[in-house]
Structure 1
Amino acid sequence: MRIAVSTPNGNVGRHVTRMLVQSGVRPVLLMRHPEHLSDELRDYVDVAAADSWHPDEVIAATRGVDAVYWVDPTPFSADPLGDYARATEAIVGAVRENGLSRVVFQSSVGAEKRGGAGEIDGLASTEAALDELAASSERDLDVCHLRCGYFFSNLALGLAALRAGDLETVLPLDQGMPWVAPRDIAEVVALTLLSTAWSGRRVQAVHGPENLSWAHVASLLTSELGHDVTVRRVEDDVMRQRYLEAGLPPALGEALLGMSTGLRDDFTPEQKRSLVSTTPTTLRSWVRDELIPLL
Structure 2
Amino acid sequence: MRIAVTTPQGNVGRHLTRMLIRAGVTPVLLTRHPENIPAAVAEHVDLVATDSREPSQVISATAGADVIYWVDPPAESADPLADYRRATESVVAAVEANRIGRVVFQSSVGAEKRQGAGEIDGLSETEVALDNCDADVTHLRCGYFFTNLLFEAESVKTGLLQTVLPLDAPMSWVAPRDIAEVAALALLSDQWSGRRVQAVHGPEDLTWTQVAKILTEELGREVRVERIADKQMREQYLQAGMPPAMADAVLGMSTGLRDDFVPEQDRSVVTTTPTQLRSWIREELVPLL
Question: What does residue 27 of structure 2 align with?
Answer: 27
Cα displacement (A) at 1:55: 1.0
What is the distance in 2 between the residues matched to 1:282 and 1:82? Answer: 35
1:243 aligned residue (237, 241, 255): 237
- Tell me the amino acid that sits aligned with residue 103 of structure 2: V
Question: What does residue 56 of structure 1 align with?
Answer: 56
Question: What does residue 263 of structure 2 align with?
Answer: 269
Question: What does residue 175 of structure 2 align with?
Answer: 181
**1:214 pairs with 2:208:** yes
Question: What does residue 153 of structure 1 align with?
Answer: 147
2:249 aligned residue (255, 265, 269): 255
Cα displacement (A) at 1:54: 1.0
2:157 aligned residue (160, 163, 173): 163
- Tell me the amino acid that sits aligned with residue 47 of structure 1: L
- Tell me the amino acid that sits aligned with residue 180 of structure 2: A
User: Identity over the aligned pairs, expressed in percent?
Assistant: 65
Name segments (4+ residues, structure 1) moved above 2 Å: none
**1:195 pairs with 2:189:** yes
Show CA shifts across 1:57-94 (max 9, x none). 11110011110100001112100000000000000000
Show CA shifts across 1:211-268 (max 9, x none). 0000000001011111110111000000000000000000000000000000000110
What is the distance in 2 between the residues matched to 1:11 and 1:182? Answer: 6
Cα displacement (A) at 1:170: 0.2
- Tell me the amino acid that sits aligned with residue 250 of structure 1: P
Question: What does residue 4 of structure 2 align with?
Answer: 4
Question: What does residue 17 of structure 1 align with?
Answer: 17
Question: What does residue 287 of structure 2 align with?
Answer: 293
- Tell me the amino acid that sits aligned with residue 224 of structure 2: T
- Tell me the amino acid that sits aligned with residue 200 of structure 1: G
1:228 aligned residue (211, 222, 227): 222
SS of the counterpart of 2:132?
helix
**Gap runs ≥5 in structure 2:** none
How big is the alpha-carbon RMSD for the aligned residues of Structure 1 and Structure 2? 0.6
What is the distance in 2 between the residues matched to 1:174 and 1:42? Answer: 44
Cα displacement (A) at 1:289: 0.8
Cα displacement (A) at 1:196: 0.9
Question: What does residue 83 of structure 1 align with?
Answer: 83
TM-score, normalised by the number of residues in structure 1: 0.97
Question: What does residue 198 of structure 2 align with?
Answer: 204
What is the distance in 2 between the residues matched to 1:172 and 1:43? Answer: 47
